[in-house]
Amino acid sequence: MSGRYLARKLVQAAITIALIVAVNFFLFRAMPGGPERAIGHNPNVSAASIAALRERWGLDKPLFPDQFLDYVNASLHGDFGYSIKYQGQPVSDVIAQQIWPTVLLVGLGTILSVILGLTLGSAAGWRRGRWPDYLGTAVSQALYAMPSFWLGMILLVIFATGLGWFPSFGMSTAGAVYGSWVDNVIDVGSHLVLPLATFTLGYMGEYSLIMRSSLIETLGEDYIMTARAKGLEGGRILREHALPNAMLPTVTIIALNVGYIVAGALTIEYVFSWPGLGTMTVDALGARDYPILQALFLLLSVCVVLANLLADIVYGFLDPRVKV
């Protein structure tokens, strides 16, 4: 991978983020109504109070260039304003409080889905046309086609409501007093099982199908036939020759998905009332909390761009054909 290739990808990412910032500003301003509408139906709130709130939030200024330039300048400094729903708290503080549950769910779910998906896909591709292939492909296709929120509700009905094995909502037991940090971890872990299983199963199918297809294609290459002609055992051919090359498109897909799965986890969080960015997004939509929504949209969009950039860089290192 050349420095010219890396510089071009960095410039493309910077331009994309700049366009996202502009779209992020005008998109939410194009929505009907405004955040003051959430309290405007209250007969006890006077027009003067609403006007004062609009002035406080900067909504009384011209949309362009005043509000736009203020927003760009504030975004460059990491200042996303003050939340309307959360009673004037800084948006960065509100997001910081609820981002870690999402990181916990997405981080563990990504690791598990990648490991299980690649293992299942490798087994299916290596034993193409035999029962592990038929079983693995059928399971992967079923999981890939299943909406994550629907899968979450099924697991919720069976294992929480029906069997009562796991809690049905939240991240911890309300009002619980823990004797030690071990008790706290066990309580959070029991609440995490169902949303984590939903996340893992939802993305495992995709990785399995991609890995199977890539491995089957790789096994048809000339260097694999040469390795077999030399008398190398099957396990060595798989580990040293087939898997490293079959991983190239899979690594790219995984890196790209890292950005999208943050947004995909929002529906899972809402189903299980997991106190992360998903629940906060739904609440902010109901309250027309522009600062929260803009910050979340920017955060998720930048995650996708950076993940795309990471995929390009990783592919440049793994594939020697990428030179320019």
Distance in angstroms (rounded) separating the CA atoms of residues 319 and 10: 19
For residue 68, which amino acid is it?
F
Distance in angstroms (rounded) separating the CA atoms of residues 20 and 14: 10
pLDDT (tens digit per residue) in 256-295? 777 666 666 778 888 888 888 877 887 787 777 778 888 8
User: Higher-confidence residue: 37 or 308?
Assistant: 308
Determine contact, residues 306/257, Cβ cutoff 8 Å.
no
What pairs with residue 90 in β-bridges?
A: 82
What value does the CA radius of gyration of the chain take, rounded to a whole number of Å?
A: 24
pLDDT (tens digit per residue) in 150-191? 888 888 888 888 888 888 877 777 777 777 778 888 888 888
Cα distance between the two ends of the chain: 7
Class of the domain covering 3-318? mainly alpha
Structure tokens given for 68: 């736009």
Give the pTM: 0.74
pLDDT at 63: 67
Q: Which residues contact 144 (CB under 8 A, 6 or more apart)?
A: 205, 206, 209
Domain boundaries, the chain: 3-318
pLDDT at 263: 64
Distance in angstroms (rounded) separating the CA atoms of residues 58 and 101: 32
Measured torsion, CA atoms of residues 123, 125, 127, 129, in degrees rounded to the nearest 10: 140
Q: Which residues contact 165 (CB under 8 A, 6 or more apart)?
A: 159
pLDDT above 90 coverage of the chain, percent: 0
pLDDT (tens digit per residue) in 196-212? 888 888 888 888 888 88
CB burial readout 225-254, b (16+ within 10 A) else e: eebeeeeeeeeebbeebbbebbbebbbbeb
Angle at the Cα of 91 (from 84 to 27), degrees rounded to 5?
Answer: 75
Distance in angstroms (rounded) separating the CA atoms of residues 232 and 230: 6
